[in-house]
DNA sequence: TGTTTTTTTTGATAAATATCAAAAAAGGTT
DNA sequence: AACCTTTTTTGATATTTATCAAAAAAAACA
């Protein structure tokens, strides 16, 4: 019995039949609806998720507004990596924004896999590399000034985000008010 | 013959004698002087460095000014991780800011180690985790507004940086002009 | 110690962007 | 289609911060 996520894992790294069998029993798949929280601020991130399809973001409350930090979509590994690695509480939320199919692996199970099947560290390393590249270039983006260049960079680097996120989410991600984003978009159609 | 960096690696992960012996012959140590570039924009990052002691930053040119993105100091792994992982050119520079002692491991040698000694992936995973935590929270920091809160957060999160970096470097890191930083500092002594 | 050079601070002004408020447009619902 | 709700746009103003210029302070050097 092979799930999509096991196939993904096997495409990243060879694992033994024994490891595959254990993993299969550990990894739960589920459909999650828009609006579901995978993580709330104050909690310690207990799982790493693989998003087969869907859309989610990490955000922080600022007054009564959600400020998006990252977005994840098809074939992304989703987690609050700092909280997950250090097993300490985080101050962000992860919310599913479109109905999604995800697979979940708990921190404890992952540690068990590393310990029991040392060769699984190869997968762990590559997963971390993939996650790293997913979220890379974020610090860079928010430093660009003025606001218009920030938007242009986003259009260049993550055009698909423009289809998936609302303009309020994009504005918060780009660290500008919704009105400023609207004005930037009005300028060059 | 054991160097400091081999001891560090062994403290992170057990490696076999054969792996240790090969590693020792691969890893070159050197004293690098203030002003030395470990990476220049346009280049592909070929090495991962371990900084035994010293101080370095990653920066980008903006007009004729250096804008700092990260800082590294004692016991940090230093590299342009995106360029290193993808082996593609980067648009940033890594410059040593204080005389430092570093150890260098090339991308090719690291890949050889992963391939020849699969258990070395355990170290690779933990090194990546450590690097990840070093640079974490950057995207977050630069989104905070107003400028004063950004500074306060830095004081709280990386107080040692205030001793190591010049105020021009800190201002560029916090995405504000040197004058603004000066005014913020004048307010609360 | 005095002199030069660099860095930091201060002041005045300009530019970018946020905020508030209202109008317009777009989407949903019956 | 008509109505309601939400989102987006537009306008006016206020605030934040950058920029430019000069003074003051600190550091480097003779």
pLDDT tens digits for range A110-139? 999 999 999 899 999 999 998 999 888 777
User: Is residue A26 classed exposed, middle or buried when 0-12, 13-18 and 19+ CB atoms within 10 A define those classes?
Assistant: middle
Q: Which residues contact B64 (CB under 8 A, 6 or more apart)?
A: none
Which chain A residues are closer than 8 Å to B86 by Cβ?
133
**Summary mean pLDDT of chain B:** 92
* Residue A111 Cα, gap to closest chain B Cα (Å): 12
More confident site: A4 or B66:
B66
pTM exceeding the 0.85 threshold for the entire prediction: yes
Q: Please, what are the domains in chain A?
A: 4-136 (2.60.120.10), 137-189 (no CATH)
Q: How confident is the model at residue B10 (pLDDT cuts 50, 70, 90)?
A: confident
Judged against a pLDDT cut of 70, whether residue A189 lies above it is answered with no
Closest alpha carbon within chain B to A176: B143
Q: How confident is the model at residue B1 (pLDDT cuts 50, 70, 90)?
A: low
Tell me the mean pLDDT in the region A49-63.
93
Which residues lie across from A103 on neighbouring strands?
A: A29, A50
User: What torsion do the CA atoms of A60, B145, B135, B45 make, to the nearest 10 degrees?
Assistant: 120
Condensed to tens digits (0 to 9), the pLDDT of residues B21-43 reads 999 999 999 999 999 999 999 99
- Between chain A and chain B, the number of residue pairs with CB atoms below 8 A apart is 78
Question: Are the C-beta atoms of A150 and A144 separated by less than 8 Å?
Answer: yes
Question: Are the C-beta atoms of A92 and A69 separated by less than 8 Å?
Answer: yes
Query: What is the model's pLDDT at position B189?
Result: 46
Helical spans, DSSP H, in B27-137: 81-86, 107-116, 120-135
Query: What is the model's pLDDT at position A167?
Result: 95
Given A122, A139, A141, which is nearest B118 (Cβ)? Answer: A122
Judged against a pLDDT cut of 50, whether residue A83 lies above it is answered with yes
Half-sphere exposure of B134 (CA within 13 A, CB side): 22
Tell me the mean pLDDT in the region B126-149.
88
Between vectors from CA A120 to CA A119 and to CA A121, what angle results, nearest 5°? 85
The encoded tokens of residue B82 equal: 């995106």
């Amino acid at each position: 019995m092979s799930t999509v996520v096991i196939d993904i894992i096997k495409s990243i790294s060879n694992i033994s039949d024994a490891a595959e069998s254990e993993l299969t029993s550990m990894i739960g798949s589920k459909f999650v609806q828009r609006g579901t929280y995978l993580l709330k601020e104050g909690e310690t991130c207990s799982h790493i998720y693989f998003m087969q399809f869907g859309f989610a973001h990490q955000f922080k409350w600022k007054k009564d507004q959600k400020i998006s930090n990252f977005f994840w979509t098809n074939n992304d590994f989703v987690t609050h990596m700092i909280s997950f690695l250090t097993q300490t509480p985080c101050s962000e939320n992860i919310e599913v924004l479109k109905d999604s199919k995800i697979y979940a692996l708990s921190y404890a199970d992952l540690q068990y896999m590393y310990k029991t099947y040392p060769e699984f560290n190869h997968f762990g390393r590559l997963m971390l590399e993939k996650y790293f590249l997913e979220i890379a270039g974020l610090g860079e983006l928010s430093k660009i000034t003025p606001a218009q260049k920030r938007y242009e960079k986003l259009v260049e680097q993550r055009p698909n985000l423009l289809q998936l996120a609302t303009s309020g989410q994009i504005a918060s991600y780009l660290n500008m008010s919704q009105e400023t984003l609207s004005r930037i978009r009005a300028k060059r159609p």
